[in-house]
Amino acid sequence: MKGDFRYWIIALFVALSLGSAVALVTNLQFSFDFQQFFPKGDPDLVFFEEFQENFEADDNFLLVAIENKPDIFDSVFLNKLHEFTLRADTLPGVTGTQSITTLEFPVIKPPLFSMTVPAVHRDDASRLAGDRATLLKDEVVVNRLISKDGKAAVIVIKNLNKMDQAIAEDFIDQLNTMAKEYNFDDYHLLGRANFQAELVRMQKRELMVSIGISSILTMIIMILLFQRKAGVTIAMTAIGLSILLFGGYMAVFGRTFTALSALYPVMMSIVATSDVVHFMSKYVDELRKGLSKNEAIRITIREIGTATLLTSLTTAAGFASLMTSKIPAISEFGFNAAIGVLIAYAIVLVLITALLSFFEADQLIKEGRGQAFWEGWMNWFYKYTKEQSRKVAIGGAVATIICIVGISMITTNYKLESNLPLRKKITADYHYFEKTFAGFRPLEIAVMVQDGYDTDDYKVMKEIEKIENKLASYENVQNVSSITSLYKGLNRAHNANNVAAYTFPESKGKFKKYQRYAKRIPPQTLDILVSRDKKTARISSSVLDIGADNVKGISESVMAFTTENIDSSVIQTKMTGTSLMLDKNAEYIRVSLITGLAMAIVIVSILMAILFQNWRLVIISLVPNVFPLLIAGALLGYFSIELEAGVSVIFAIIFGIAVDDTIHFLSKFKLARNKGLSVDEAMQITFVETGKAICLTTVILFFGFLVLLFSTHPPSIVVGLLIALTLVSALFSDLFLIPILIRFFIKK
């Protein structure tokens, strides 16, 4: 490589690095939104979006649970709670607040007299014992505004339907600061704004930790491998630039970092490290044969550059297969990861070759005494697969059967809590609400009123009440409400605010009587319950986080009930809501896995055919890489790890990366065959010269993905551990199965 050209390349990468750094500082974007996990193009999603146009979002709230010992019915505490409620109403992004201290019940005495009474008399300590006894029997407030045991009160804060990330973080920060001022015994937060603020902070923290630990680990590996300052510096420069320029790409093109972002630096580091090891090892090998620097660079680019290009394309194809997913977070992750792989390859190919040309072999890698060790082990694998091929084949068949059994045990019954960070307040708060109140998962039913009826007709109300009663019969479903709640409240108001009278009017006559009062209520007050045209209503409830499959079971049971018991000429119903959209991921994960992997296999097969120009080698290259996928699926099944969106990416990653070592192995075998060597001679040389490299890269991959064990994000931990273990199985699959397949398919 000519000297002037090398300096131009270095200058180019310096400029790209500076540009990327500026872009990262000015335009790096993070976000968390449940809609990232909604399945695009799904008919239920289209319906849900239309449904939301008539009503407010079902998750535009934040709950603040405040504890007080021995219970909340204390004048000092209630006055603090009331003040906190009023102050919370002034925070950014808030449209309204309610707590037990602001709640008032109407009392109606016909024909004209009406009044309201407070739910709790916070300024009259003598009445608090009576308030306590009454309210703990009141389904309007229990599980909504107070806990069953009376030891915690909840402030319901309504937020904007859509909150910018900056507003969400500002709102949560101010709320936390304000809560600490009052020195409550304890407080807990649950709601979309808190998820939005805290999970984005988790993403930022995970990204920094991932980059830091990956860098340290990579540095250690490079030092052990090269044992020369120049070699380590060149390798770390290429790897660091790969991560930096990938970040620059994300910032320049406005790509957003999401819940899967912690995987990016790990993958970039691993892919770049693998490419660096192959390039530098080959360059040093050629120099030690007595070739000049230029000739060594030329051969390295021709042989390793071609093989590494193919491995980069196959890895990118594995990631790109995720783009077939209907889940935006998964699809975007696949696209960005595929681009990242190509960025790493371009940097290593261009920059590494330019930098290497300045140095001699001894300046890059210390010549060690481990070559005999590696040759001994590789010769053992060669001989074992030749002499014990039947045992290997039987072992592979038995392992496949065991894997298939494990795969049959895979479940998609994942919970929302599985995506919450470990050992963090947001997760502890989530568990608190699950245990003490009604949980977070909204479960909604859309009610479509048929021609000839309106939502305020008696017949319509009676049908809705049937569904409400059915929902309330499930132990894990709480806080069921709809437009019938208005008439239950009016019945209670006409019975001197008697808690026991909170029931739907028992006769049509009473209903018509209460309807006159209902018509005086401003339309905007009812917007959360019925549409303005009175043709659509909603039934809202909360369901505990019992798992996607279990929630689906409840939904199907309710829909079966409506089919059998509801007059379809009056109303028709459909399950909807944020929870349903998230749970529908389970349906698409299986489909997208099969579709995406099939596409990846087809693309990889085409690339293999172009490289090897031999259909036998294409088959040989694919079979060993299906086995690691079976191992990954079996691990999910045997260890009862739910297959959800964050975990589903492991299959594309495993296939895309595992196939790299196969390509290097078969490329070397083909080169040896092209020189006229026999199958056995070519295979033995391949083991000795390539076996060491693929073992080293697997070690790098193994420890690289184990970096994710330092994550606080459970799916990332699972992904890191499963991929690390599975890639080890991919190595043994290459070393044991490829020789047997070669001997079977290639006789001469």
Mean pLDDT, rounded, for 136-141: 82
Residue 464 domain-assigned? yes
Instruction: Taking residues 286-308, report their average pLDDT.
Output: 80
Q: What is the pLDDT of residue 308?
A: 80
Give 61's DSSP letter: E
Note whether 608 and 730 are same-domain residues. yes
Answer positive or negative: Cα dihedral of 260, 261, 262, 267. Answer: positive
pLDDT 10s digits, 96-108: 888 888 888 777 7
Could you tell me how many helices (H) and strands (E) the chain has, helices first? Answer: 28, 12
Distance CA(566)–CA(571), nearest Å, equals 8
What confidence category does residue 581 fall into, taking pLDDT thresholds of 50, 70 and 90? confident
Q: Is residue 568 located within the same domain as residue 633?
A: no
The answer on 574 and 449 residing in a single domain is yes
pLDDT value of residue 53 = 72
Within a domain: residue 387? yes
Q: What is the C-alpha to C-alpha distance for residues 297 and 375, in angstroms, rounded to an integer?
A: 25
CB neighbour list of residue 689: distance below 8 Å, 6 or more residues apart: 668
Within the chain, what is the greatest distance between any pair of CA atoms?
109
pLDDT in tens, 720-748: 888 888 888 888 888 888 888 888 877 65
pLDDT given at position 590:
66
The token pair at 327 is: 């889940």
At 34, the pLDDT band (50, 70, 90 cuts) reads low
Would you mind telling me the total number of residues written for the chain in this entry? 748
Assess whether 377 and 357 both reside in one domain.
Answer: no
586 falls in which pLDDT band (50, 70, 90)? low
pLDDT at site 110: 64
Is residue 620 located within the same domain as residue 572?
Answer: no
The alpha carbon of residue 512 and the mean position of all alpha carbons in its chain are separated, in whole angstroms, by 50
Most confident of 347-356, 577-586, 599-608: 347-356
Query: What is the percent of the chain where pLDDT is above 90?
Result: 0
From residue 360, alpha-carbon distances to 1, 194, 288, 351 in Å are: 14, 56, 9, 17
For residue 125, the enclosing domain spans 61-107+118-159+163-197
Q: Is residue 477 part of a domain?
A: yes
Better pLDDT: 232 or 50: 232
Determine the Cα–Cα distance for residues 391 and 400; give it in Å rounded to an integer: 14
Convert 463-488 into a string of H (helix), E (strand) and C (coil): HHHHHHHHHHCCCCEEEEECCHHHHH
Q: Specify the CATH number for the domain of residue 331.
A: 1.20.1640.10
Q: Does 1 have pLDDT greater than 60?
A: no
**Whether residues 169 and 145 fall in one domain:** yes
Q: 186 and 238 share a domain? A: no
165, with CB counted inside 10 A (0-12, 13-18, 19+), is middle
Same domain for 684 and 614? yes
Residue 521 reports pLDDT greater than 60:
yes
pLDDT given for residue 461 in this prediction: 86
In terms of DSSP H, where are the helices of 165-305?
165-181, 192-226, 229-252, 263-288, 293-300
Instruction: Answer whether residue 112 is part of any domain.
Output: no
Question: Is the Cα torsion angle 169, 174, 179, 180 positive or negative in sign?
Answer: positive
In a domain, 55, yes or no: no
- In terms of Cα–Cα distance, which of 418, 558, 320, 317 is closest to 37? 418
- pTM metric for this prediction: 0.77
pLDDT at 133: 85
- Is 38 inside a domain boundary? no
Which range (58-67, 312-321, 589-598) has the least confidence? 589-598
Give me the pLDDT at residue 370, please: 55
What is the predicted pLDDT for the residue at 35?
67
Q: Quick one: residue 439, left, alpha or beta (phi over 0 = left, psi -120 to 50 = alpha)?
A: left
Mean pLDDT, rounded, for 347-362: 81
Residue-level pLDDT at 427: 87
Residues 6 or more apart whose Cβ sits within 8 Å of residue 383: none
Residue that is written with structure tokens 């001469």 in the block: 748
Same domain, 184 and 232: no
Choose among 405, 443, 339: nearest CA to 635.
405
* Whole-angstrom distance, CA of residue 193 vs CA of residue 433: 16
Tell me, yes or no, whether 252 and 331 share the same domain: yes
- Tell me, what's the pLDDT at 617? 78
Our count of domains for the chain comes to 4
pLDDT in tens, 381-393: 778 888 788 888 8
Residue 235 lies inside a defined structural domain of this protein? yes
What value does the mean pLDDT take over residues 358-368?
73
Instruction: Give the CATH number, domain containing residue 536.
Output: 3.30.70.1430
Q: Which residue, among 253, 632, 193, 218, has the nearest Cα to 406 in the 3D structure?
A: 632
